[in-house]
Structure 1
Amino acid sequence: MSMEQTTADNGFAYTLTRTLDAPAARVWRAWTTPEQYDQWAYAAAGSVEMDVRPGGAWKATMVTPDGGQFPLTGSYLEVTENRLLVVGMDVPGKPEPAAMTMELDERDGQHTQIVLRQTCDTAEERDMAEQGSTMLLDGLSAFLAKETRD
C-alpha cells in the first residue's frame, strides 16, 4: 500500500476538476515553463526555477494580493509529460513534502480536463490549499484564453 492512500484515510483531501479550452500540451507548457508559469500563477517575475523531471527541484516566490511575498521550494515526485505532474512542496517543520497531483486528460485536441488533488493534515490546511489551487486554476484558465486570442 502506498503512502498516499494511508494519509488520505486520516487526512483532509480536496479534488478540483476543470475543463480548459486548450490541448494538453499547451496546458503542460503553461505549468512547466517558468516564463509562462509566472504570468498566471501569482509568482514574482523571474523567481520561478523548474527542473521538470522526477527528483528535480523547483522554486517560486508567490505574491499575495496585498503584495506580500512567500518563497516556496519543492521537487517533482512524478512526471509524465502532458499527463501527470506530482509536485512536492517543502513544508517548514514537516519531514514529508506536501504533494499536489495534477492530471491532464485531453478530450478532443481542443479541450483538456485538469484535476488537482491534495491531501492535507488539517481541515484548515485543506481549505487554504483548495483556495490557492482554485486561484491557480482561475489564473491558468484566463492565461490560456488570452493566449488563444493573441
Structure 2
Amino acid sequence: MSTEQTIPANGFSYELTRTLDAPAARVWRAWTTADQYAQWAYAAPGSVEMDVRPGGAWKATMVTPDGGQFPLTGSYLDVDENRVLVVGMDVPGKPGPAVMTMELEEQDDRGTQIALRQTCDTAEERDMAEQGSTMLLDSLSAFLAGGAKG
C-alpha cells in the first residue's frame, strides 16, 4: 500500500491507494450496497441507507472501537458505476460537506486499484480522516478476502 500526502493552497489532503484482490464490480457493490457496506464499514446493523445516484442521500450510524455510536449523513455528488464515487459528508457547523473521492481501476489479473482522496480544512482533520480511511481500506480488504458474496 502506498500513501501520498499533498498540501494544496486551499487545505490539507491525503490520498490512499491499495490493490484489492477483487474485480472493480465487486468492490463497487461492497461500497454501494447497504447490507455489504454495513458488514465491513463499522456501521451499526440496519443503520445504512443508500440512494446511489448523483444527489442521492445516504446515512449510516458508525460504531467506534469502544462501542460508541455516531450518525453520519450525506449525499452522492458524482457516481460513475464501477469507476468513481464522490461522497459528500455532512459536517455540523460547516457550510458545505466534507468530500471524499473513491476511484477504482481494474488491474487486469491483479485485481482492482482503489484510491481514496480527501481535502480537509486542517492538518488535524486530515489526519483523522486519513486514519479512518485507512481503517476502512483494511476492513474492506479483509471483507473481500473473506469470500463474501456480492
Class of the TM-score when normalised by the shorter of the 2 chains? over 0.9
Are 1:134 and 2:134 counterparts?
yes
User: What residue ranges of structure 1 are gaps of 5+ in the alignment?
Assistant: 1-6
TM-score by length of 2: 0.92
Cα distance, 1:10 vs. partner? 2.1
Task: Give me the TM-score of the superposition, normalised by structure 1.
Answer: 0.92
In the alignment, is residue 143 of structure 1 matched against residue 136 of structure 2? no
Q: In 1, Cα distance between the equivalents of 2:58 and 2:66? A: 24
Q: 2:4: which partner in 1?
A: none
Q: Which runs of structure 1 show a deviation greater than 6 angstroms over 4 or more consecutive aligned residues? A: none
SS in 2 for 1:114: strand
Q: What are the superposed Cα offsets for residues 98-146 of structure 1, whole Å, 9 maximum, x if unpaired?
A: 0000000011155000000000000000000000000000000000000
Unaligned runs of 5+ in 2: 1-6
- List per-residue Cα deviations over 1:58-77 (Å, max 9, x = no partner): 00000000000010000000
SS at match of 2:146: helix
Sequence identity percentage: 83
Q: 2: distance between equivalents of 1:23 and 1:148? A: 13
Distance 1:53 1:68 in 2: 30
Match of 1:33, as an amino acid? Answer: T
Q: How is 1:56-75 mapped onto 2 (pairs within 5 angstroms)?
A: 56-75=56-75
Q: Distance in 2 between matches of 1:29 and 1:109?
A: 19
Distance 1:106 1:31 in 2: 16
Aligned-pair RMSD on alpha carbons? 1.5
Displacement of 1:35 in angstroms is 0.5
Please show how residues 9-88 of structure 1 align to structure 2 within 5 Å.
9-88=9-88
Query: Which residue is equivalent to 1:3?
Result: none
Structure with the largest fraction of helix: 1
One-letter amino acid of the counterpart of residue 60, structure 2: A
Deviates more, 1:105-114 or 1:40-49: 105-114
Deviations 1:32-89 (A, max 9, x none): 0001000000000100000000000000000000000010000000000000000000
